[in-house]
Chain A
Amino acid sequence: MEKFDVIVVGGGPAGLSAAISAAKAGVRTCVIERGDYPGTKNVMGGVLYTRSTEAVVPEFWKEAPLERPIIEQRYGLISGDEILSMSYRDPAWDQPPYNAHTVLRVKFDRWLAQQAEKAGALIITETVVQDLLYEGDDVVGVRTGRAEGDLGAKVVILAEGVNNFIAQKAGLARPLKSENVAVAVKEVISLPTEKIEDRFCLEPGQGATIELFGESTQGMLGTAFIYTNKDSLSIGVGALIEPLIRAKWTPNDLLDALKAKPYVKRLLQGGEMKEYLAHMIPEGGYNAMPKLYRQGVMVVGDTAMFVNGLHREGSNLAMASGKIAGEVAAQAIKVGDVSEQTLNHYDDRVRDSFIIKDLHKYRKTGDFFEKNPHLFKIYPEIASKAMKMFFTADETPKKEMQKQILKMAMKKRTKRGLLSDMFGAWRAFK
């Protein structure tokens, strides 16, 4: 049986970052990926954050296949045919130090895998890891689905993504629950570069993102998004599985309904669908995190529930956690101790970083939204109506108009309800 120091299960941002940092630290590293090559099975909305990527591959923007640097982020509330939106734009974000880029994962992950190879890691593709290998209680490698498929390892890093089968078998993660997992679908729609830049008011090469709430998910907890790529748009929508089941909506129908909204329709006009993608997103947050390590094993990225849905962050948490795990693995191997006591450093370091600090900050939001399903339905309606009344010049005296707005809001939600929502939100987000 061939033996490695580190085996990484899964070639996404978390696994490849782990492999890069482990290989750079000089330990023999192997990544096992089930797709034809890293990227073929990997899906996200499409925003890659600079800081966490730069920490893994310095100055990656000079070489990596990126789509557009994001200079504008827009939030929109959809209610019927109406939209209320707010955006922030900084043209300086189109140059170093960037904040974020849009990417197409099939290209980016493949490139990141090449960086792992350059760092010295071996990448085995089209191979599925079925289980860990044990000697007594100690993890000593992995079993793959291929003939003569056992591989030895001192440390295994589980970066298998949201489907945490191996982490479950290893007693680290629990089975996924429908209230902790969102399902998102996405289309890549090709459009000429100039059309994209015109429609989003961009200079050549610049990019923008739009997140849409409210009726974009039929009032369910979730978001829709439109991101600009070089010569295509990524449009998608995701919602928690639990409310989808309850409301009997399929994600596909959500996307069709979203594309029919006038605001969205105009942005996509004339485009041709090139790709259709779907994926699950672990949204359980802090309270659903598995145990992050045991002797010889660490859990990173989506497998560890490292997703901050409110800030649409995921790939950065994945890369940062992968990098730390790779470093801790290399360190543990060098001192010849891969016991729980040593791998505990991984847990310490992710807790001390933005990864778990952010998840901890928002630990109550999941529960808050779950108990108040009206939020994503009523407030977009109230906000939209209020703005409409505010902007309508119909000779109503302004004082009277303010009263009418308040009355309209109270009709949809009592004073008590409004106050309790505000207090609840403050408690959940503080």
Chain B
Amino acid sequence: MHYLICLKQVPDTSEVRIDPETNTLMREGVPSIINPYDAHALEEAIRLKESFGGKVTIICMGPPQAKEALKKAMSFGADRAILLSDRSFAGSDSLATAYILTVAIQKISETDPVDIVLCGKEAIDGDTAQTGPGIAQRLGFPQLTYVIKIREIDQGWITVERKTEGGREVAKAKLPVLLTAEKELNDLSYASLPNMMKASAYDPEVWDIKALPCDPSQMGLKGSPTSVSRIFAPSAKTGGEILDGTKDPTIVAGNVVEKMFQQNMIMVDPLAKGGK
């Protein structure tokens, strides 16, 4: 089995703030981390490798300093890491990024066919959740998104549990497949010391435009139809109304019910009996 992880280096958004005047992200001094969902995708691949054997390859598109993220990712026990880095990739939106990553996966598959592509469900800096599905579409792989559990891999089929709005869905697909990971998929583990040492001495491969036969019109700013018109901080949520129920619970309960009706939280059939 060959597991391939698409990993992104992102600013730690818990430390990014938005400049209230210019509405731009204040990224200065903010540390870069592995996108947390991608870390769960990687963890799952390492676990699959431990149970079924095989090989884990990580690819990452980004500037040269993203090597740091790849070196760190290697410490969890991956076998190979490739950084896709070229000035002409810069400015790519999720469509163009999916294209470049797909070309890389196809190139890797020429010598070492990929069975399962694992992505995080989304990157915490953009929250689009488009890149993974975009890759699946281009590769012609079935996509299982928002995966919270891999139930079984058997006879070339994979069964997973997906997180949906209202619950869980069990889905089955034929390999090769692309999964996108939720955080519930696993708990991250602590790398062993020998793996840490190997990773710190590891130098990720770097593929630039010469190494990847990409169509220039489909990548970078030119290949990116998305434009960000504005970034803004969502207005802070108000604390909500608090009704003190300690003094006269009956009246307060009545008030609560009344408010629920006023805000159409509860609909009552006008013909029903006993209603208000």
Contacts and interface: CB of A to CB of B under 8 A. Distances in A.
A148 B191 CA distance: 10
Contacts of A148: 192-194
Interface in B92-129: none
B201 interface: yes
Nearest to B194: A148
Interface in B187-214: 190-194, 196-197, 200-201
Interface in B177-236: 190-194, 196-197, 200-201
B200 A151 contact: no
B31 interface: yes
B31 A124 contact: no
A2 B194 contact: yes
B201 A124 contact: no
Nearest to A274: B29
A2 B197 contact: yes
A144 B193 contact: yes
A36 B31 contact: yes
Contacts of B201: 122
Nearest to B196: A124
A374 interface: no
Given A36-B31, A146-B190, A127 B200 contact: no
A146 B192 contact: yes
Given A122-B201, A123-B200, A147 B193 contact: yes
A151 B152 CA distance: 38
A151 B31 contact: no
A151 B196 CA distance: 12
A55 to B, nearest CB: 27
A151 B197 CA distance: 11
Interface residues of A, number: 13
Contacts of A150: 193
A373 interface: no
A150 B197 CA distance: 12
A149 interface: yes
A256 B150 CA distance: 53
A124 B192 contact: no
Contact of B190 (A2, A122, A147): A147
Contacts of B193: 2, 124, 127, 144, 146-151
- In this complex, the member of B31, B194, B196, B197 whose beta carbon has the largest number of chain A beta carbons within 10 angstroms is B196
A220 B210 CA distance: 67
Contacts of B196: 124, 127, 146
Contacts of B194: 2, 148
A146 B200 contact: no
B34 to A, nearest CB: 12
Nearest to A104: B29
A36 B193 CA distance: 15
A122 B192 CA distance: 16
B248 to A, nearest CB: 42
A124 B199 CA distance: 10
Contacts of A144: 193
Interface of A: 2, 36, 122-124, 127, 144, 146-151
Given A122-B200, A148-B194, A149-B193, 10 more contacts: A122-B197, A122-B201, A124-B196, A127-B196, A144-B193, A146-B191, A146-B196, A147-B191, A147-B193, A150-B193
29 contacts: A2-B193, A2-B194, A2-B197, A36-B31, A122-B197, A122-B200, A123-B200, A124-B193, A124-B196, A124-B197, A124-B200, A127-B193, A127-B196, A144-B193, A146-B190, A146-B191, A146-B192, A146-B193, A146-B196, A147-B190, A147-B192, A147-B193, A148-B192, A148-B193, A148-B194, A149-B192, A149-B193, A150-B193, A151-B193
Q: Which 5 A-B pairs have the closest CB atoms?
A: A147-B192, A146-B193, A149-B193, A148-B192, A148-B194
